[in-house]
A and B are shown apart, each in its own frame.
Chain A
Amino acid sequence: MKIDKKQWLYQILFAAITIVLLFPIIFAISNSFKTLEEATNHIWRFIPAAPTLENYRHVFERLPFVRITMNTFLIAFTVTVFKSLTSILAAYAFVFLDFKGKGSLYFVLISTMFIPFTVTMIPNYITVSALGLNDNIWGVALPQLSDALGIFLLRQSMRTVPKSLIEVARMEKIGHARIIRDILLPLVKPAVVSTGIIFFINSWNEYVWPVLILKSKENYTLSLALQMFISSEGGTDFTVAMAVSVTTMIVPLILYMIFQKYIINTFALSGVKG
């Protein structure tokens, strides 16, 4: 009896945290379909009495929205493809090859995960401007083409592949390209997929760097467009702001829903061993 009571307490505690965490998302979705009048008078009503797409229409009218979404997608896609490639190659070398300076090089690369972005911000701004990529989406993508987190996560998962599988292949005269393609990638597919998704989501959500580089509206990404709807005093654009919020978070949310098991397992792996 006593044990059951405790179990209930725990469940209530966890349910409460879940509600706190998920409330903002539900709040945004629900209000984005309300008229401003309904939102103002019935802010706690979760299912709108008279659902409307007016807010979304408004977003599309006020902004070059297709263009902005396309920008966001193009940056995220490019970054994902390149980061995945560079990380897979580097992680393979760190796990399965022997070379001088391996330990220290890995240490140096991984250490950069802990360097605050402000340290590199000014010189990178100068570099990207010098390349003529200021106010250009490729200027946003360029510094992100490789990444310590990717090397770290993929190395963690490649280490779970027995070294003897690779040794057997090398003994059978199979080249490294074939080993990576035929043997390694099929085995670490979940980690590669989830690392890729994480790259995509992170780039999709990226705010600090685009805010420095992108100036004109037609080059904006979603995060920047969203920022225009902010007003800390609360204003008349409330329901429209909710609609932009929903359009910004919908892609990461869908990706997460589909790949959540992979993603969670990959991050869990990152904690277990360093």
Chain B
Amino acid sequence: MKEIVFNQVCKSYDQNQVVKNLNMKVEGGERLILLGPSGCGKSTTLRMIAGLEDITSGDLYLGDKRVNDVESGDRNVSMVFQNYALYPHMTVRQNISYALKVNKFPSDEINSRTSEAIRMLDLTGLEERKPKELSGGQRQRVALARAIVKRADYFLLDEPLSNLDAQLRAYARKELVKIHEQYHQTFVYVTHDQIEAMTVGQKIALMNEGTLQAFDTPQNIYKKPANVFTAKFIGSPPANVVEASYDAGYLYIEGAKMKLPDAWCKVVGSRNRLYFGIRPEDIHLTRAPKDKDYAMKALVRYVENYGNQLGVYFQVKGMEMLAICEDAAPMPGENVYFEPDFDKIHLFDIETTNNLGYPKKLQ
């Protein structure tokens, strides 16, 4: 019903292609996060759904209707802008009710929807204030209230929390989920913050340079990154991904070698060059490895204290990597063994950078 379907959608400005062949289906009532670094095309994608940007080629469907040529006002979407876009000369109540009035809703309907939104977003007592008399958090809630009174099927948010400080942001995230659970709109949310993506999203679409990199649940995106970009973008600190080579059961990094478990050797198949990835928290650095064959010699360069954890920068031959240790980290200059948790490593194709998959028993 309320799904969004992208079919080969492209967007270019002059010669510059900002969204490339986007194919994606957002289920009705789902919370989708559009995530990616700045300039990746995520905001453009959102604005195409909103009808604020033309689609250069391809088809966009809202429900079963192709909307390429439908005016923004006729798309049944509502949107929260990064700068909130509140009307500065109107009070909170006028901001929320203005569009309903212009579109000639009956006045008791306007009043009940406005009051409900004011109550829900905790704006009681602020109804007659102008936006400039409100705090950042309050403004953000007014923008949300204004967007929900329309009861649109599609709820679009463009970095709605990026102007709030960290504490407010955590609170506002919960608020957003609460709103969604009340109205069950199809939710499309643009952010560059992966914590927001993980906590708010039911699905994440990760974009880079106009291309969809991964489209999956937050869980899967973190645990089974679809490609090198995803592995490096998701997680803080990001995953280590290094070039490696494979030969007869052994994995080589810059001349250092270790055995690869048989199950992984099947995944590698006939390749002899690949990318090896592992998250910092899945690395053991130890003086005494369980099995020296399945470990590499490493040199500790530098240790960072994060408070509850320690970040250890180490080198395997020339290749620098980062490990997270809970306690008892080795000292800089110390020679240790790098021992990966083989249940949690990721291998990627050297050409396509796509994930090679995982051994049967891990799946």
Contact = CB atoms under 8 A, between A and B. Distances in A.
Instruction: Give yes or no for direct A-B contact (beta carbon below 8 Å).
Output: yes
Contacts of A169: 99
Interface residues of A, number: 16
A168 B73 contact: no
A174 interface: yes
Contacts of A172: 73, 78, 98-99, 102-103, 150
B79 A168 contact: yes
A78 to B, nearest CB: 29
Contact of A165 (B72, B73, B85, B103): B85
The 9 closest A-B pairs by CB, nearest first: A173-B73, A172-B99, A164-B85, A164-B81, A186-B89, A168-B85, A171-B72, A165-B85, A174-B102
A202 B103 CA distance: 41
27 contacts: A162-B83, A162-B85, A164-B82, A164-B83, A165-B85, A167-B50, A167-B85, A168-B81, A170-B71, A170-B73, A171-B51, A171-B52, A171-B72, A171-B79, A172-B73, A172-B98, A172-B102, A172-B103, A172-B150, A173-B74, A173-B99, A173-B102, A174-B102, A178-B102, A182-B98, A186-B89, A187-B89
Contacts of A173: 73-74, 99, 102-103
A146 B150 CA distance: 40
Interface in B68-96: 71-75, 77-79, 81-83, 85, 87-89
B78 A171 contact: yes
A164 B84 CA distance: 8
Contacts of A171: 50-52, 72-73, 75, 77-79
A183 interface: yes
A165 B81 CA distance: 9
Contacts of A167: 50, 52, 72, 79, 81, 85
Contacts of A178: 102
Given A164-B81, A178-B102, A182-B98, A170 B87 contact: no
Contacts of B88: 187
Interface of A: 162, 164-165, 167-174, 178, 182-183, 186-187
Interface of B: 50-52, 71-75, 77-79, 81-83, 85, 87-89, 98-99, 102-103, 146, 150
Nearest to B147: A168
Given A167-B50, A171-B72, A172-B99, 9 more contacts: A164-B83, A170-B72, A171-B77, A172-B102, A172-B103, A173-B73, A174-B73, A183-B87, A187-B88
Contacts of A183: 87
Contacts of B81: 164, 167-168
Contacts of B82: 164
Contacts of B78: 171-172
A171 B85 CA distance: 12
A172 B156 CA distance: 13
A167 to B, nearest CB: 5
Interface centre among A167, A171, A172, A173 (most CB of B within 10 A): A171
Contacts of B150: 172
Nearest to B100: A172
Nearest to B85: A164
B147 to A, nearest CB: 9
Nearest to B50: A171
Given A171-B50, A171-B52, A171-B79, A165 B87 contact: yes
Contacts of B98: 172, 182
Nearest to B158: A164
A144 to B, nearest CB: 31
B99 A174 contact: yes
A158 to B, nearest CB: 14
Contacts of B103: 172-174
Contacts of B89: 186-187
B143 to A, nearest CB: 9
B145 to A, nearest CB: 13
A186 B87 CA distance: 10
A182 to B, nearest CB: 7
Interface centre among B75, B77, B81 (most CB of A within 10 A): B81
Contacts of B77: 171
Contacts of A164: 81-83, 85
B71 to A, nearest CB: 8
B70 to A, nearest CB: 12
Contacts of B99: 169, 172-174
Nearest to A171: B72
Contacts of B72: 167, 170-171
A120 to B, nearest CB: 36
Nearest to A98: B54
Nearest to A178: B102
Interface centre among B50, B83, B102 (most CB of A within 10 A): B102
A171 to B, nearest CB: 5
Contacts of A186: 89
Nearest to A173: B73
B160 to A, nearest CB: 12
Contacts of B85: 162, 164-165, 167-168
Interface centre among B78, B79, B83, B85 (most CB of A within 10 A): B85
